[in-house]
Amino acid sequence: MSTKLSFFIGGMTKVSRIFALVIAIAVQWLPVDVKAQCGNRNFDEYGVFLGVGYYNGEINPVTPFYKPKPAVGFNLRHVINDRFGVTFQAVWSELEGKDSDFNNEYQEWRNASFKNQVVELSLQGEINFLPLVPGDPMRCFTPYVAAGPGLVLGSFVDEGLRFCVPFGVGIKYSPNETFTLSAEWKYRKLFSDVLDGITDDKYNLSYGETVARQRSFLGNDDCYSFIGVVLSFRPNGKGAHRCSAY
The upper half-sphere exposure of residue 203, i.e. CA atoms within 13 Å in the direction of its Cβ, equals: 9
| CATH number of the domain to which 148 belongs | 2.40.160.20
AA identity, residue 11: G
C-alpha closest to that of 188 among 229, 138, 222: 222
**135-144, 152-161, 228-237: which range is least confident on average?**
152-161
Whether residue 181 lies inside any domain: the answer is yes
Eight-class DSSP state of 33: -
d(CA 225, CA 66): 10
Can you give the pTM of this predicted structure? 0.74
> Does residue 197 belong to any structural domain of this protein?
yes
Please give the mean pLDDT across all residues of the chain. 78
Cβ atoms < 10 Å from Cβ of 208:
9
**220, amino acid identity:** N
Q: Is residue 37 part of a domain?
A: no
Spatial distance between the Cα atoms of 81 and 14, rounded to a whole number of angstroms: 33
Query: What is the per-residue pLDDT for 234?
Result: 87
What is d(CA 204, CA 206) in angstroms, rounded to the nearest whole number?
5
How far is residue 230's CA from residue 186's CA, in Å, rounded to a whole number?
A: 12
Q: Is residue 245 part of a domain?
A: no
Q: For residue 9, is pLDDT > 80?
A: no
Report the pLDDT value the prediction gives residue 8, as an integer from 0 to 100.
47
Chain centroid to Cα 214, Å, comes to 30
CA gyration radius, the chain: 21
pLDDT level of residue 79 (50, 70, 90 thresholds): very high
119 is in which domain, residue-wise? 3-32+43-237
The answer to whether the CB of 111 falls within 8 A of the CB of 97 is no
201-240 tens-digit pLDDT = 555 555 554 544 555 555 567 889 999 999 999 886 655 5
Helix, strand, coil percent values for the chain (each to nearest 5): 15, 45, 40
**Does residue 242 sit within a domain?**
no
pLDDT of residue 2: 52
Q: What percent of the chain has pLDDT over 70?
A: 68
pLDDT top residue among 96 and 156: 96
Q: Look at residue 203 and tell me if it is in a domain.
A: yes
Question: Residue 187: inside a domain, yes or no?
Answer: yes
Q: What is the pLDDT of residues 144-153, one digit of tens each?
A: 999 999 999 8
Residue 243 lies in a domain: no
Instruction: Please write the tens of the pLDDT for every residue from 227-238.
Output: 999 999 988 665
What phi, psi does 99 have (nearest 5°)?
-60, -35
Q: Given this model, what pLDDT does residue 212 score?
A: 45
Q: How many structural domains are present in the chain?
A: 1
